[in-house]
Chain A
Amino acid sequence: MFLDFFYLLREQGLPVGTGEWLAFERALASGLEGGKLDGFYHLGRALLVKSEGHYDLYDVAFARFFHGFGLPAEITEALRRWLEQPAEIRSEALPTLINPEDLREQFRRLLEEQKERHDGGNRWIGTKGASPFGQQGQNPQGMRVGEQGGGRSAILEAEARQFQNYRTDVKLDVRHFKTALKTLRKLDREGPEVLQLDPTIQKTARNAGEIELVFAPDRKNAIKLLLLMDAGGSMDPYSELVSRLFSASHAVQHFKQLEHYYFHNCVYSRIYKDIAQRTGVLTKDMLRELPSDFRVVFVGDACMAPWELTAGSDFSLGYGATPMTGIDWLRSIRKHFRDAIWLNPEPRRYWNHPTISQIGAVIPMYELTLDGLKQAMRRLRIGRRDLR
């Protein structure tokens, strides 16, 4: 039952699995939704959605599934127009409960038969009646038509999309960055040996009270991170976002080693320590200096004129330099280090830009949103070489 709804949720990008769905079906079987669409809405949200960041996805899917009900758009439009002015009529008799499929079918049939406006009554589509169709009606199994609900209906609630601001694919602050970065870790025992209290006590107890001391190095995060950030002009709208990522990565004090450099549009033979791009080092030297066990995070919009990426001249070294193109530099960075990903603040829908896809083919690209960041960190942690 309602399996279409499940797939619609998944289609919307809500990470809902079979386990949750089965739990939901069990809950429906025990009648927890109380025979009301409102109950269905709340119950589904409690069991299928696991983050307030995904509430909005659920609302969108719910509204789509229950609002449209697969009706031709122009009829809904016409209905909505005359449903907008309800009449003050009440009706007593309520028909018995109907299952949604029948309801939908009956609605279609009625739509074909009905040619005029109805308020009250218990059969036709209209306002304030006991018919299962229309607005402000009293049939608990009914279907509301149009946007303006009388009471607080579930569909209305879903359509209001009050959780839009909580979406994880839009909002990012320093703390979000910190949490995402913290997931990037690989614990290794290293450093000076320290007294381990718990094993010491255990060993001593096993030894019947003869003190035996246990030493071992503490566990520390072994991950080294290299941040390479685009400070070019087209990145200006995102400078605030990038600076948040920058401050978060320093504030977590989580990595064994953290290095950062800036570049302009694309990495060429020179790379910079500061945003103003005054203190530069040779990219070659950076590659020589940093051991290959660094993980690299590029941040940039990857949008540039195609020749900036593929022309065989070097803009920062002047005449006579080795003709290595931007994409060549990216390839050599990718090759040198253990793993690299690219975070792009441009929304994914604009990613058909030629240089974005070219760069994306070399370095796996993720959206600079909470979800994208999480996926990127996961990829860096697992370190799978090829996901493409």
Chain B
Amino acid sequence: MKGVKSSNMDHLVPIIKIFGIEFDLAAILMVVLSSIIVFVLARLAVRNLSVENPGKLQNFLEWVVEFVQSIIGMATDFKRGRVYTGLGLALIMYIFVSNMLGLPFGIVSEAHDNQIPKVFGQELIVKGEHEHLAWLWWKSPTADMAMTMALALTVIVLSHIQGVRHNRKHYLKHYFEPWPFFLPINLIETAAKPLTLGLRLYGNIYAGEVMIGIILGMGWVGIPALMVWQGFSIFVGAIQAFVFTMLTMVYIGQASIHDEH
């Protein structure tokens, strides 16, 4: 768009093509970075574990574990659902850290004289026309649709697998509940679950980042607006991590845990 200075939408994505497959380098880098951050945080918290005298980080991680267990208790039967505590913990920490990463700053690289740089010997792909080439290297990993859909698909496939393994009769029967002619509706629901799970997280974080770009384009006037928007984005990031984890537990519980018959 002309006239919007350094708007987020004008930044290119650094994509390279290896063996015909396109790789988004910024997304790969940010995914690795957030994985490292979560891993280091978790490992630091379990050093020198102590029951009588817990350190601050150990206390914090224990609180997170209890929070995840309360989510499981809200979503499904806790006695049989507590095996998923590790999954819930990984999801909520990873998604929360990923949502926060894109907020503080962004790193943009610009091309001199519009020359296209090479990474690992491959040229970055430029789609469309741009007057001034600039690539965005730092963004939230969850602002990428591939990443959130991968998370959602992993979790939904896990729920189907657990349903077939642990609860085969009821899982197959529930497609025909409450009446057999509900089958198309239930199939649509099955298809819609991974879609909405992934798109909800993607849309929230991506829209937040685009708004940050637009507010930055307003110059000095936008500083209070930016502060308010950053605060709201922290709130939205936390809520979306919570909702993703909660829905994961609900779907897994619905598919695999039914013992009232």
- Asked if A pairs with B, the answer is no
Which A residues have a C-beta under 8 Å from some C-beta of B?
none
- Chain B interface residues (CB < 8 Å from chain A): none
